[in-house]
Structure 1
Amino acid sequence: MSETVAQEGVGRKVSLREELTARRKAMTPEIIDERGLKVQSRFLATPYYNKARTVALYAPIRGEVPTRDILIAALQDEKIVCYPLSHVHGRILAFRAIKSEAELEPGRLGVREPTNSADLIAVDQIDLFVVPGLGFSPDGKRLGRGGGYYDATLKAASARSRRVGLAFNDQIVDTIPTNSDDVDMDLVVTESQTLRGLYRDWDFLDT
Structure 2
Amino acid sequence: MPKTDIRRRMLAQRAAFPLSAIKDASRRIQRTFITCDLFIQARSIALYAPIRNEVETGEVLAAALKMGKTVLFPSVAPEGLLFRTVETVHHLCPGAYGISEPTAERGIVDPEAADIIVVPGVAFDRSGRRIGYGKGYFDRALHRLEGSGRLVGFCFDFQLVDEIAGEPHDVQMDMIITERQIVVLPRKSDL
TM-score normalised to the size of structure 2? 0.92
Counterpart Cα distance in 1 of 2:128 and 2:149: 15
**3-state SS of 1:192 partner:** coil
Counterpart Cα distance in 2 of 1:28 and 1:37: 14
**3-state SS of 2:93 partner:** strand
Partner residue, 1:105: 93
Q: Please tell me whether residue 184 in structure 1 is matched to residue 188 in structure 2.
A: no
Counterpart Cα distance in 1 of 2:99 and 2:142: 20
Whether the 8 Å contact between 2:83 and 2:111 is mirrored in structure 1 is yes
Partner residue, 2:152: 164
Gaps of 5+ in 1: 1-10, 202-207
Whether the 8 Å contact between 2:22 and 2:55 is mirrored in structure 1 is yes
Question: How many residues are treated as equivalent by the alignment?
Answer: 189
Bigger shift: 138-147 or 63-72?
A: 138-147
Bigger shift: 118-127 or 21-30?
A: 118-127
Structure 1 runs of 4+ with >4 Å offset = 157-161
TM-score normalised to the size of structure 1? 0.85
| Structure whose CA Rg is larger | 1
Question: Residue 53 and residue 161 in structure 1: after superposition, are their counterparts in 2 closer, same or farther (change >3 A)?
Answer: farther
Whether the 8 Å contact between 1:141 and 1:184 is mirrored in structure 2 is yes
- Alignment root-mean-square deviation, CA: 1.9
Counterpart Cα distance in 2 of 1:146 and 1:177: 14
Partner residue, 2:134: 146
Whether the 8 Å contact between 1:123 and 1:158 is mirrored in structure 2 is no
Name the structure with the higher strand share.
2
Aligned-pair distance for 1:116? Answer: 1.7
Counterpart Cα distance in 1 of 2:3 and 2:146: 28
For residues 137-170 of structure 1, the C-alpha deviation after alignment (integer angstroms, 9 at most, x for no partner) is 1221211111111111112449856100001011
